[in-house]
Amino acid sequence: MHLRIAASTVAATFLLGTTAAIADPPNFDFNGYTNGIGSTLQLASVLTNNGVVPTPVPLDFANNQYTLVVSATFDHTSGNAQRYGNATVQIWADPIGSGTAASYATPATFTDGTLILGGSFDGFLIRNTFIATLGNFVGRVDWQAGSAVGLLPTPQDWPFGGGWSRTISGIPAGYVENWDGLIDLATVGVEPGSWGKVKNLFR
């Protein structure tokens, strides 16, 4: 995923000129590991924005570690796609000084802080297999809970996606896949209107 972001940034710089400033759109950037593709899927991950890529709500990376967890139940396979239902996602904050650092050896350390956002997938979380060791994942999230849910411009239909690999180095014991992805800021709906109506707003 980071290679994809780097490639798109280079292309955008070429198109806009070398003097243009490139800014990533707000998102939740995560990297973590899953237990595989059995009857349940558990993802434990850490947000990796770290003050570089803007987040959709204000987060204090200097003083908190932010974790993202996903839980889902296998439903069925359709071609190369494994579909998971009852999927939920949560983002937690834990103080760096007084909290417990996230440890893949202890999954509970990913959910022992303050719930920032909690939601469910609108439909299936889909894990696609390109080859036995590589693929991607996609879905859409509807946020319903958490201390920051009221700060969202819209709680519905946040794109969730990225890539998974079984060959990347450093996969912790008890996990089989690295998941590297984003939850993107959802598009806010607009109402159609004429240019005359827009001008009238400023009269």
Alpha helices by DSSP H, the chain = 2-16, 195-200
Which residues are registered as beta bridge partners of 95?
64
Q: Encode 88-115: b = buried (16+ Cβ within 10 Å), e = exposed.
A: bbbbbbbeeeebeebebeeeebbeebee
What's the rounded Cα separation, in Å, for the pair 100 and 106?
A: 10
Question: Mind listing the pLDDT tens digit for each residue in 73-83?
Answer: 999 999 999 99
The verdict on pTM exceeding 0.85 is: no
Predicted local distance difference test score (pLDDT) of residue 50? 85
Residue scoring higher pLDDT (15 or 155): 155
Q: Do the bridges between strand 27-34 and strand 177-184 make them parallel or antiparallel, or are there none, so unpaired?
A: antiparallel
- Using the predicted structure, report yes or no on whether residue 42 has a pLDDT greater than 70: yes
- Using the predicted structure, report yes or no on whether residue 159 has a pLDDT greater than 70: yes
Please give the angle made by the CA atoms of 139, 113 and 123, to the nearest 5 degrees: 15
Q: What's the average model confidence in pLDDT over 159-167?
A: 98
Question: Mind listing the pLDDT tens digit for each residue in 45-68?
Answer: 999 998 789 999 999 999 999 999
- Using the predicted structure, report yes or no on whether residue 201 has a pLDDT greater than 60: no
Tokens coding 117: 């956002």
Please report how many Cα atoms fall inside a 13 Å half-sphere around the Cα of residue 86, on the Cβ side.
10
Question: Mind listing the pLDDT tens digit for each residue in 83-135?
Answer: 999 999 999 999 999 999 999 999 999 999 999 999 999 999 999 999 999 99
Predicted local distance difference test score (pLDDT) of residue 187? 81
What's the rounded Cα separation, in Å, for the pair 105 and 113?
A: 17
Which of 133, 153, 131 shows the shortest CA–CA distance to 143?
Answer: 153
